[in-house]
Homo-oligomer: A and B are copies of this chain.
Amino acid sequence: MSELKDIGITTRKEDDFSEWYTQVVTKAGLIDYSPVKGFIVLKPYGYRIWEIIKESLDKKLKESGHQNGFLPILIPESLLSKEKDHFKGFTPEVFWVTKAGDTILPDKLAVRPTSETLAYQIFSKWIMSYRDLPLKINFWNSALRAEIKSTKPFIRNSEFLWQEGHTVHENQQEAEEEVLLILNYYHSIIENFLAIPTLKGIKSEREKFVGALYTNTLESLMPDGKALQMATSHNLGQNFSKPFEIRFLGRDSKQYFAWQTSWGISWRLIGALIMIHGDNKGLILPPKIAPIQVVIVPIFKKKDRAIVIEESKKLFAELNSFDLRITVDDREEYTAGWKFNDWEIKGVPLRINIGLRDINNNNLEIVRRDTGEKMSIKRKDCINSLHVYLDQIQKSLFEKAKIIQNNNIVKITNYDEMKKLLNEKGGFILADWCEKEECENNIKIETGADIRLIPFEKYPSDNKCIYCNENSKKTVIFAKAY
């Protein structure tokens, strides 16, 4: 944090995307690395973004009757292995606690990879009759999965912050509605708050959550042509209620197995935010998610210092009483130029420059982070102008991203062409598929791409599987993915 250090981003996004990303997450003050490989620390600026995402989802969940709870982080192996497919899916990446102090544990304990098994063992005790349903609980916690491959802050880490929702219902229809309700909450937050366009759809059998009946998903395209899974919402059917014996007395006095859902988003959304909106100066944050929406930077010659600082603080006090996240940078040890760079790297949507001339003219200079545009506004209209510009930035970031994503959804009918495109620039490839897992597997092996989603939106079909040319009923989206 010393002023001597080169604080700017030294790699261009278009030249080395991965190195650019690493520089942005660290130089914008979002994260630091833990001494244990694959684990990261969230600095306050990074954590605040997560808090804002959390607050917005938490509000929606509570309004629709979901409640938060707490589950322990250690899960006995015997419980984790109760749903076989599920266990097989997670076991290679589980961190195992084998000792407490010097004592070796008889049943080793998994550090939470996800909580289905523990939650459902407990739910089975809570649910006796239809009167206890629906049960709709959410947990804000962290999950751990040992990452053997290369790690990437927010995108692939051995521990990540997330929420996991778990609901139990009387019938299949309610579970289906729940899964869609939650998918729509996620969609709304990702598009309206994070300003990231997403595609809605369902996962193929191969790609669904291990143990689920089906998985709904939101997928977005990153600037390097790779897809990122943004959120998933699983209909678990009765796949867990049977092994975990979540049974209830129905309204007709008969016993039934319950219907379940689980769903989650993680801090990976912050990774997407950085990749999608950032530029060569650093982070660009959509106003609705920005920890600081407006920064006031006083600019002065030494002799005018007192008056400019005083006016800046007055302005801050005035604006701070409105519904704005605002700060004034009155640090004495840094130059105005240094401060400009610092707030640009941090992606603060609007900057107010305030100098002696502005004060005398009853004007303020406003700078948009996303376009670099400078505007002179009347001091007395300040609050209105700020809100107008913040709205504009929010909309414009989304629209820009939407256009890029749309331009990179490409309909392909020829497998060689698909391979070529995947090799050269990636993107969302719209292609027909016969629904055979064999074709899906071969495509994955030969191109590295998998089916990201079977989109809800109907796209024109050419009725032939891109791989085997046999009859196809499904138009799906292939992509390489994070």
Contact = CB atoms under 8 A, between A and B. Distances in A.
Interface SS of A by simple majority = mixed
A89 B214 CA distance: 48
Contact of A32 (B40, B73, B125): B125
A144 interface: yes
Contact of A51 (B44, B68, B148): B68
A48 B413 CA distance: 54
Interface stretch (A94-102, A344-352, A376-384): A94-102
Contacts of A51: 68
This protein's copies in its complex: 2
Nearest to A96: B99
A92 interface: yes
Contacts of A125: 32
Contacts of A146: 100-101, 103
Nearest to A334: B131
A322 interface: no
Contact of A1 (B44, B126, B161): B126
A35 interface: yes
B70 A95 contact: no
A2 B129 contact: yes
Contact of A40 (B47, B72, B159): B72
A92 B103 CA distance: 9
Contact of A97 (B79, B91, B96, B128): B96
A71 interface: yes
A74 interface: yes
A76 B40 CA distance: 14
A107 to B, nearest CB: 8
A69 interface: yes
A72 B1 contact: no
A184 interface: no
A100 B93 contact: yes
Given A35-B121, A69-B42, A126-B32, A74 B100 contact: no
16 contacts: A1-B126, A3-B131, A36-B72, A36-B75, A41-B69, A41-B70, A47-B70, A72-B159, A73-B73, A73-B144, A73-B159, A93-B100, A95-B99, A97-B111, A98-B98, A101-B148
